[in-house]
Structure 1
């Protein structure tokens, strides 16, 4: 099937990892991810098998472990500034990175079109705090590619 790109906007909160975990719960509860049914990937409206009842149950499925969900559910945690990014993590855009690549450390929705300039890898997501016109944190944008 190949990897799928995904992106999400959530209201700003200072704790990026808490925002990620809340987003993961919401996506899981909404069923907004690909779920394997045998060898065929089926969207929610077309599936025949019941979906898992928890994220733990979802990740116990061998097909999900191998191929992912093609969504934010494939990302487990936000890495800190001293951590090394690894599969299933999300790396925040730093102020230095934003200034170097986009000329500002107060990113807005208008900058999202240029986010492909930020280094990224499949199965490692990115996130950026987006600001309003007055420079106040407004929301968090998560994006990336995952799934096989």
Structure 2
């Protein structure tokens, strides 16, 4: 299995953790996430069971399900796996040419969006998030084995 790049653009009310939780809940489908074990053991039926299975750090669900919390500090740190980190204004300006990214900016990138977002990724299983104006947030990352 390879790695997968993923990104999700969602409505944002200012609470990163709540938005992340809502996206994970919307993405979770017991029969539709990557499960490395075939039929044995059976797929977890809830997000809590998926987390308890402990395989995400090793195999990954290849989606936002691999990111369970919001991190602070260094997205390249030892405890960064499984968390999402804000894109700083400096990073945003370096990559997008502006500290205030809009939905139009993302649309203009078209097929190049994954390449551009990739410049902000620090490792597999580590998410990033970026406030996108007006009223949106973009979560992105890459995960897998």
Query: 1:96 corresponds to which residue?
Result: 90
Runs of 4+ residues over 6 Å off in structure 1: none
5 Å-filtered alignment, 1:122-141, equals 122-131=124-133, 137-141=134-138
Q: Could you tell me whether the CA contact under 8 Å between 2:34 and 2:61 is conserved in 1?
A: yes
1:120 corresponding residue in structure 2: 122
DSSP 3-state at the match of 2:28: helix
Give the whole-Å Cα distance in 1 for the aligned partners of 2:101 and 2:64.
Answer: 21
Give the TM-score of the pair, scaled to structure 1.
0.75
Deviations 1:65-104 (A, max 9, x none): 5201111111111223xx3331111111122221233221
Residues 52 and 58, structure 1, Cα contact 8 Å, conserved in 2: yes
Please provide the CA RMSD for this pair.
2.4
| Unmatched runs of 5 consecutive residues or more in structure 1 | 39-46, 132-136
Equivalences, count: 133
The alpha-carbon deviation at position 51 of structure 1 amounts to 3.7
User: Partner of 2:69 in structure 1?
Assistant: 77
Aligned pair 1:145/2:142, yes or no? yes
Distance 1:144 1:12 in 2: 18
Contact 1:87 1:123 in 2 (8 A): yes
SS in 2 for 1:59: helix
CA offsets 1:54-74 (integer angstroms, 9 cap, x no match): 112112335445201111111
Greater strand share, 1 or 2?
Answer: 1
Q: Which residue of 1 aligns with 2:109?
A: none
1:106–1:66 Cα change, 3 Å: same
1:1-148 to 2 correspondence within 5 Å?
1-29=1-29, 32-38=32-38, 51-61=43-53, 63-80=55-72, 83-85=73-75, 86-112=80-106, 113=113, 114-131=116-133, 137-148=134-145
TM-score, normalisation: structure 2:
0.76
Change (3 A) 1:119 1:26: closer
When Rg is computed on C-alpha atoms for both structures, the one with the higher figure is: 1
